[in-house]
Amino acid sequence: MPSRTEPGSTDTSRTRLIERLMEQFPHVPREAVIKEDLLRGGLAFDESALSDNEDGDVKPKSYFIFSFDHGTLPELGAAALRRPPEEIVLTGGPYELRRTVVSVRVNPSSPYRVAADADGVLGLYLDGRRISDVGLPPMPDYYRHTLDNGKSVMEVAPTIQWGYLVYLTVFRVCQYFGAKEECQYCDINHNWRQHKAAGRPYTGVKPVEEVLEALAIIDRYDTAKTSTAYTLTGGAITSHIGGRDEADFYGQYAKAIEERFPGRWIGKVVAQALPKADVQRFHDYGVQIYHPNYEVWDRRLFELYCPGKERYVGRDEWHRRILDSADVFGARNVIPNFVAGVEMAEPFGFTTVKEAIDSTTEGLRFFMSHGITPRFTTWCPEPTTPLGRTNPDGAPLEYHIRLLDAYRSTMEEYGLSSPPGYGPPGPGRAVFSVSSFMDSLPAREEDPA
Ligand code: SF4
């Protein structure tokens, strides 16, 4: 493919990179190439493309669990005062992109920039050249209402994935604490501190009643029933919160939600890989999908980069429990996540894309051979994390593209299809916004185009 860069542009290296990869991997949707690059490296916003927080017409970024930014709030300039949108949707342009939903990760020095042209029409610019139209998420009606205590729905029950998923981070910190326990790429504890420092509302433990009140507002005003699933999540609980262990703590929300809104949403929980009896409790509380995230497959990297998980559970036991939980939930409903890219993080990560993909594919084969379909989020190297500090550029884009390729072919090898609870698969249809795995899987006939 010849370079489509306009003459006069100075640094076009990123454009050349994405065009080379589009040419080299024609079976990976070109939408996914751009989406992965935006997710791993972030994008900049002109002030004209920022939201007016909760008072405007654009749905603002909620900071639903991690910061997912390439700078701390004080480093983001105007984007710290007027939040960027939660997501953007790309269409058209020289690559003729089909509708592609991308989670927003702010990086003021990214070669990608969202800006308005002279007519006020937003576009995505790469290396100074317009490469797609940009749509912003409209402010949902339910964000315009507050709880009786004045808290916003965005703070208590934000929605992401273009409104598909209600993201309930009910515990905003992690009990794996400090350098010897926190996952080395995770800024959940820092993110909590920085929002507190900025004076933003950011509830550490969300009371069940507040969650139910926020969901009642969503249920009432989401008349199109776009919201389809909820995720209960937060930090690991190694002891107790309010006298409850992890299964009972997260489970109490599922129980209350299912009693109040039976069957309204698909209930999911992200938690540690727990013993089978605890996993059974999740199921009994009404959770339908279980995410015991294994983070990174390689043994040494898991030990070094997930020291809390290694210390409290251990890699082999973690994997055993994932397999055991299929007896409770059914293999299709056990969907462990890994963080795509950290296996290439210095100082201990793989130094070649091939080694990284070989290792990660070994993990995919392990789980998929048991009917379990992992999924992944694209690593965002947040600067306050140990791995973000030493790897500000994240993993190479080629790694992410090869991973999409390997993921799809491994799924096909084991006769698996896209996991439940993620909305429609396929380019132009997917709404999952924090990696392109759904954009890269085949579309289903039953989903509207
Ligand atoms: S378990 Fe790891 S990734 Fe999850 S919140 Fe705790 S430190 Fe972060």
Query: pLDDT for 51-109, tens place per residue?
Result: 888 888 999 998 888 888 898 888 888 887 888 999 999 999 999 999 999 999 999 99
Query: What does the pLDDT look like over 176-214, one tens digit per residue?
Result: 988 899 999 998 988 888 878 888 777 789 999 999 999
Q: Which numbered atom of ligand 1 lies nearest the CA of 234?
A: 5
In angstroms, the CA 348 to CA 115 distance is: 38
Ligand 1 centroid to residue 78 C-alpha, Å: 29
Confirm whether 427 is domain-assigned: no
Residues with CB under 6 A from ligand 1: 174, 176, 182-183, 186, 188, 235-236, 308
In angstroms, the CA 437 to CA 377 distance is: 8
Q: Of 135, 169, 186, which closes a domain?
A: 135
Confirm whether 158 is domain-assigned: yes
pLDDT at 354 over 60: yes
Q: What torsion, rounded to 10 degrees, do the Cα atoms 208, 157, 220, 262 define?
A: -50
Mean pLDDT score, 273-294: 98
Mean pLDDT score, 35-42: 98
pLDDT at 428: 96
In angstroms, the CA 214 to CA 154 distance is: 9
Ligand 1 centroid to residue 295 C-alpha, Å: 9
Mean pLDDT score, 20-36: 97
Nearest to 63 by CA among 152, 161, 175, 191: 191
- 262 shares a domain with 179: yes
Ligand 1 centroid to residue 292 C-alpha, Å: 11
- 155 shares a domain with 131: no
Mean pLDDT score, 388-407: 97
pLDDT at 3: 39
Confirm whether 438 is domain-assigned: no
More confident residue, 4 or 127: 127
- 105 shares a domain with 174: no
Residue type for position 327: D
pLDDT at 6: 41
Ligand 1 centroid to residue 269 C-alpha, Å: 14
Q: For strand 97-103 and strand 87-92, is the pairing parallel, antiparallel, or unpaired?
A: antiparallel
Ligand 1 centroid to residue 317 C-alpha, Å: 17
pLDDT at 1 over 70: no
Total domain count for the chain?
A: 2
The domain containing residue 129 runs over which residues? 26-135
Q: Which numbered atom of ligand 1 lies nearest the CA of 295?
A: 3
- 97 shares a domain with 51: yes
Question: Which phi and psi angles does 85 have, rounded to 5°?
Answer: -70, 155
In angstroms, the CA 397 to CA 379 distance is: 11
Confirm whether 1 is domain-assigned: no
End-to-end CA separation in angstroms for the chain: 28
Token pair for residue 182? 């926190």
* 258 alpha carbon, distance to own chain's centre: 24
Ligand 1 centroid to residue 204 C-alpha, Å: 15
Q: For strand 266-270 and strand 289-291, is the pairing parallel, antiparallel, or unpaired?
A: parallel
Mutate to test the pocket of ligand 1, among 172, 173, 186, 249 (most ligand atoms within 8 A of CB): 186
pLDDT at 81: 82
Q: For strand 122-126 and strand 129-135, is the pairing parallel, antiparallel, or unpaired?
A: antiparallel
- 118 shares a domain with 242: no
Q: Of 135, 156, 181, which closes a domain?
A: 135
Confirm whether 12 is domain-assigned: no
Residue whose CA is at the smallest distance from ligand 1 atom 8: 186
pLDDT at 337: 98
- 217 shares a domain with 331: yes
pLDDT at 66: 82
Query: What does the pLDDT look like over 298-350, one tens digit per residue?
Result: 999 999 999 999 999 999 999 999 999 999 999 999 999 999 999 999 999 99
Confirm whether 229 is domain-assigned: yes
In angstroms, the CA 261 to CA 269 distance is: 17
Looking at every residue in the chain, the average pLDDT score rounds to 94
pLDDT at 275 over 70: yes
pLDDT at 71: 87
ω into 137 cis (within 30 of 0)? no
Nearest to 151 by CA among 103, 198, 209, 190: 209
Mean pLDDT score, 396-405: 98
Choose the weakest-confidence range: 9-13, 159-163, 259-263. 9-13
In angstroms, the CA 93 to CA 33 distance is: 14
Confirm whether 433 is domain-assigned: no
- 418 DSSP assignment: P
Ligand 1 centroid to residue 66 C-alpha, Å: 10
In angstroms, the CA 44 to CA 108 distance is: 5
Ligand 1 centroid to residue 314 C-alpha, Å: 14
Q: Which numbered atom of ligand 1 lies nearest the CA of 339?
A: 3
- 97 shares a domain with 31: yes
More confident residue, 172 or 250: 250
- 195 shares a domain with 111: no
Alpha-helical segments (H) within 330-422: 353-368, 386-390, 397-413
Residue whose CA is at the smallest distance from ligand 1 atom 1: 236
Tell me if 322 sits within 8 A of 294, measured CB to CB: yes
* 322 alpha carbon, distance to own chain's centre: 20
pLDDT at 9 over 80: no
- 245 shares a domain with 120: no
**Per-position b or e across 242-261, b if 16+ CB within 10 A of its CB:** eeebbbbbbbbbbbbbbeeb
- 370 shares a domain with 320: yes
pLDDT at 8: 44
Mutate to test the pocket of ligand 1, among 65, 171, 176 (most ligand atoms within 8 A of CB): 176
Token pair for residue 341? 């890219």
Token pair for residue 144? 């315009």
Tell me if 287 sits within 8 A of 325, measured CB to CB: no
Question: 127 falls in which pLDDT band (50, 70, 90)?
Answer: very high
Token pair for residue 389? 């500090």
pLDDT at 382 over 80: yes
Tell me if 87 sits within 8 A of 51, measured CB to CB: no
Q: Of 106, 135, 164, which closes a domain?
A: 135
- CATH code of the domain containing 400: 3.20.20.70
Question: 449 falls in which pLDDT band (50, 70, 90)?
Answer: low
- 173 DSSP assignment: S
- 81 shares a domain with 146: no
Tell me if 70 sits within 8 A of 107, measured CB to CB: yes
Task: Show Cβ contacts of residue 33 under 8 Å, excluding neighbours closer than 6 positions.
Answer: 18, 21, 22, 25, 397, 401
Above pLDDT 90, what percent of the chain?
A: 84
Choose the weakest-confidence range: 39-43, 192-196, 321-325, 423-427. 192-196
Mutate to test the pocket of ligand 1, among 180, 183, 250, 291 (most ligand atoms within 8 A of CB): 183
Ligand 1 centroid to residue 181 C-alpha, Å: 9
Confirm whether 204 is domain-assigned: yes
- 146 shares a domain with 101: no
Q: What ipTM was predicted for this assembly?
A: 0.99
Question: Which phi and psi angles does 146 have, rounded to 5°?
Answer: -120, 165
Report in angstroms the alpha-carbon separations of 416 from 287, 314, 332, 357, 407. 22, 28, 9, 19, 11
pLDDT at 448: 66
